[in-house]
Amino acid sequence: MASDPNCIFCKIAAGAIPSRKVHEDDEILAFHDIAPWAPVHFLLIPKEHIASLANAEPRHEALLGRMMALAPKLALEQGCEPYPAGGFRVMVNTGAHGGQEVHHLHLHVMGGPRPWAKG
Ligand code: 5GP
Ligand code: ZN
């Protein structure tokens, strides 16, 4: 599986940097964001190093689908209230204009009662 030795999320995926885990399976890790915008704010990453959504390839389609399908399940488990009164935000910052700071593909999942610290 592709990994980048200089990538902070690859290090988190490998357990070399600790994180507060929300979910882990063979292909996907979810962990709490270190600087949350909202009462619930976690990140979903592929364990494989994919630099951004713009770098995803056709072979990643099933993986991307699994990540999206996990988001609502984990959101509820982490305390987001049910749709439609509750719900959550999924955000995938991509590239400089998209506001991406960590260049390893990640889905932000944010929820919980407003106001939020950001967003
Ligand atoms: P981006 O701006 O690339 O979409 O978001 C990167 C996110 O990663 C930010 O929300 C930031 O707080 C989070 N982050 C950066 N470094 C770490 C870290 O070492 N651990 C955790 N848990 N989150 C991090
Ligand atoms: Zn990486």
Residue with tokens 């987001």: 80
Percent of the chain with pLDDT over 90: 98
The span from the CA of 42 to the CA of 21, in Å, is 9
- Cβ of 100 closer than 6 Å to ligand 1, yes or no, is yes
- Cβ of 31 closer than 6 Å to ligand 1, yes or no, is yes
115 alpha carbon – ligand 2 mean position (Å)? 32
User: For the chain, how big is the Rg over CA atoms in Å?
Assistant: 14
Q: Residues 67-83: pLDDT tens digits?
A: 999 999 999 999 999 99
Q: How many residues does the chain have?
A: 119
Confidence of residue 60 (pLDDT cuts 50, 70, 90): very high
52 alpha carbon – ligand 2 mean position (Å)? 10
Confidence of residue 85 (pLDDT cuts 50, 70, 90): very high
Could you identify the atom of ligand 1 that is nearest to the CA of residue 103?
3
Residue 66 has a pLDDT of: 98
Q: Where are the domains positioned within the chain?
A: 8-111
Domain topology for 8-111? HIT family, subunit A (3.30.428)
Rounded to the nearest 5 degrees, what angle is found at the Cα of 89, between the Cα atoms of 86 and 92?
170
- Cβ of 101 closer than 6 Å to ligand 1, yes or no, is yes
Residue 47 has a pLDDT of: 98
Residue 13 carries which DSSP code?
Answer: H
Residue closest by Cα to atom 21 of ligand 1: 34
Residue 117 has a pLDDT of: 97
pTM over 0.95: yes
Residue 99 has a pLDDT of: 98
CA atoms within a 13 Å half-sphere pointing along the CA-CB vector of 71: 24
Q: What mean pLDDT is reported for the chain?
A: 98
pLDDT above 90: residue 1:
no
